[in-house]
Structure 1
Amino acid sequence: MTGQPLILGEMPSLSKLYVNAAATAARRRILGSSAAAVLPTVSHEVREVRPDVEILTAYQHLLGETASDVLPAGFIHALAFPVAMSVMNRDDFPLPLLGMIHLRNVIEYRRPVTFTEPLDIVARADALRAHRAGTQVDVAVEVRASGDGASGKNSVCWCGVSTYLAKGVFLPGIDKASAAPAPQAFSAPDPTALWQLGVDTGRAYAAVSGDFNPIHLSVLSAKAMGLRRSIAHGMYLASRALADVGAVKGDAFRWEVGFEAPVFLPARVALDISTAESGEGGWLRSDYVAWSPRSGRKHFSGTVSAL
């Protein structure tokens, strides 16, 4: 990431960001929106972020991660999420934050990070582009050990790019020819696991991630946002699949996930994980895919590979 960041004095409050996003959406409905296809050039940074060990323990228990002082890759995403959200909540961000659909994540976990390490988190928006259903954007995040930034060394220990879709929003000046293609047909394999997700899954993940987006919390709050029922957090699903991949992934890996269809709660989710090894028997990658055993519709898929 380049350019002088905006240093935030404290971690942004997700609840306040959602309230502000709702107010911004109402204002734009009343006054109209003349947003141009230009992203803010400034990044946001919070320094010396210290994970809470009790929340870490609760996260590990909920997701099925091994109890450890090492932060899971999905936990770091949740830790950094408020900084990323603050970028999308800026007045000069051209897309509406509320209703944004999570499409994809690509994460590199470059070395183990322990809960005792204070961390610097930097986020910025990038790559505004067309989608067949609207406009998509990337939010890039880097996490490094506090104090390493001035050393000139490549001290990034975790980095991720999240891709979001503003459905139905078509900004002027964006080439629609670059829109992403439609998903390919899916044929469900034999599952290696079957998850039973209760109606409280969204609330349970919100308690350990801090993401209390109304679409995840209850039938009533989801209906207020235009959904028939609450849906599971995408990163809960992806992080649980990553936990199911297990310790074979080692200390450094690349983690990719693409989301296709939401999981309405309560739900049963089928999962298949397949592993590829090198000729010497070393682990190379694990591919995973999850779907509805009732309808056969794919929910998400991804890959965990060695760095």
Structure 2
Amino acid sequence: MSAPNEQAAGRPERTDVVLGSVPGLASLYATALGRLAAGRLGRQAAGTPDRGAAQEALRLPAVRHVVRGVAADPERLVAYQRLVGDTVRDTLPSVFVHGMAFPVAMDLMVRADFPLPLLGMVHLDNVVEHRRPLGTAEELEIAAWAENLRPHRAGTQLDMVVEVSAGGETAWRGVSTYLAKGIGQGVREGGSAPEPGKRPAYVPPVPTARWRLGADTGRAYAAVLGDYNPIHLGALPAKALGLKRHIAHGMYLAGRVLANAAPNDRAYRWSISFEAPVFLPGTVEVALHPRDGALAFEGWNAASGRRHFAGRVDALRPDGSWTD
């Protein structure tokens, strides 16, 4: 069965792969580890350790993974709300919805025909439309697909799109952008990948909060939402994947911000870009401030002067447009 309105919207036709339930993240990470190990062994056997590949040789699977009849776990919801400092209420926080849907997207990303390795990917940014409040008892449908494979100066990036529907209408839509470093590097149709621009010196604003994150922050988030990516759990598994030590989940950071910034009684859109990882344990200076009719936010390391993330929350105007 093809995804509805794909051709009418000018997008490629995709086949729905309907799953019986939301997959378990533990088994998905095991599959991803197996693919990573097999890929490394294959490159060693072929004598080609360089992961560079022609961009045009990479193809995303033309499928959507779909799960129907999904409901929030009330105990997990309360645990999440307490973890990020959110209010315990009967509507779903936006990042909690992302956490419910993430295994469906990941199930697609560990397919044998998915061209990029899941582990080692860099999470660049998210744009989410939370189109209406979602009640805790609502039955949800989750659909995920990959699109917009394109070059990046450090490799190849793509978008993972997730839509969460209730009552036949899309209530939440998120686009997560990921980078596979060193794959397809410098290759694009008709030319080379764009050159990096020189970033201006970062001048932090006046902080409005300070977060002190313990070494167990990643494990605490994983215990609630099941995201046991090794780079978040401890120094040794993170080092095995190329990091100097483990880092905070990007969605944990987003959830902490939105606990203080999201207008939970109406529609809103939020976006976040990740610029530098938050190593654990660590301290993050945070600022929330109005900008252009929206609420802007950013977090940075006061000692190094590096910004970790930046984003904004936009409300929906009465005419249906966003405040930006």
Q: SS of the counterpart of 1:27?
A: helix
Q: Is the 8 A contact 1:11 1:46 kept in 2?
A: yes
Q: SS of the counterpart of 1:226?
A: coil
* Residue in structure 2 matching 1:291, options 277, 282, 300: 300
Residue number in structure 2 paired with 1:29: 40
Give the alignment of 1:205-224 within 5 angstroms: 205-224=221-240
CA distance in 2, matches of 1:17, 1:160: 21
CA distance in 1, matches of 2:15, 2:121: 27
Q: Does 1:300 align with 2:315?
A: no
Give the alignment of 1:70-89 within 5 angstroms: 70-89=91-110
Q: Does 1:164 align with 2:167?
A: no
CA distance in 1, matches of 2:114, 2:194: 20
Q: Is the 8 A contact 1:87 1:124 kept in 2?
A: yes
* Residue in structure 2 matching 1:99, options 108, 111, 120: 120
Q: Does 1:127 align with 2:148?
A: yes
Residue number in structure 2 paired with 1:236: 252
Report how far residue 244 of structure 1 moved.
Answer: 2.2
Task: From the superposition, tell whether residues 179 and 156 of structure 1 become closer, same or farther in structure 2 (CA, over 3 Å).
Answer: farther
Q: SS of the counterpart of 2:246?
A: coil
CA distance in 2, matches of 1:25, 1:246: 37
CA distance in 2, matches of 1:235, 1:21: 20
Residue number in structure 2 paired with 1:280: none
CA distance in 1, matches of 2:58, 2:186: 6
Report the AA paired with residue 35 of structure 2.
T
Note the alpha carbon deviations across 1:230-259, whole angstroms, 9 max, x for none. 100001011111112254x64211100000
Unaligned ranges ≥5, structure 2: 7-13, 44-50, 317-324
Give the alignment of 1:1-307 within 5 angstroms: 2=6, 3-32=14-43, 36-145=57-166, 148=168, 155-170=169-184, 174-175=188-189, 177=192, 179=194, 181-182=196-197, 183-247=199-263, 250-276=265-291, 284-307=293-316
Note the alpha carbon deviations across 1:6-31, whole angstroms, 9 max, x for none. 00111111111111111112222222
Q: Is the 8 A contact 2:151 2:186 kept in 1?
A: no
Q: SS of the counterpart of 1:256?
A: strand
Report the AA paired with residue 180 of structure 2.
A
CA distance in 1, matches of 2:36, 2:211: 36
Q: Percent identity?
A: 52
Note the alpha carbon deviations across 1:187-216, whole angstroms, 9 max, x for none. 111111111100010011111111000110
TM-score (norm 1): 0.90
In the alignment of these two chains, the number of paired residues is 293
Note the alpha carbon deviations across 1:123-173, whole angstroms, 9 max, x for none. 00000011111110100000001x52xxxxxx1000000000011111696
CA distance in 1, matches of 2:125, 2:288: 18
Q: SS of the counterpart of 1:141?
A: strand
Report how far residue 82 of structure 1 moved.
Answer: 0.3
Q: SS of the counterpart of 1:10?
A: coil
TM-score (norm 2): 0.86
CA distance in 1, matches of 2:283, 2:234: 17
CA distance in 1, matches of 2:153, 2:138: 42
Report the AA paired with residue 14 of structure 1.
L
Task: From the superposition, tell whether residues 274 and 299 of structure 1 become closer, same or farther in structure 2 (CA, over 3 Å).
Answer: same
Q: Is the 8 A contact 2:153 2:186 kept in 1?
A: no
Q: Is the 8 A contact 1:129 1:179 kept in 2?
A: no
Report the AA paired with residue 170 of structure 1.
G
Report the AA paired with residue 29 of structure 1.
R
Which is worse superposed, 218-227 or 71-80?
A: 218-227
Which is worse superposed, 121-130 or 31-40?
A: 31-40
CA RMSD of aligned residues (A): 1.9
Q: SS of the counterpart of 2:129?
A: strand
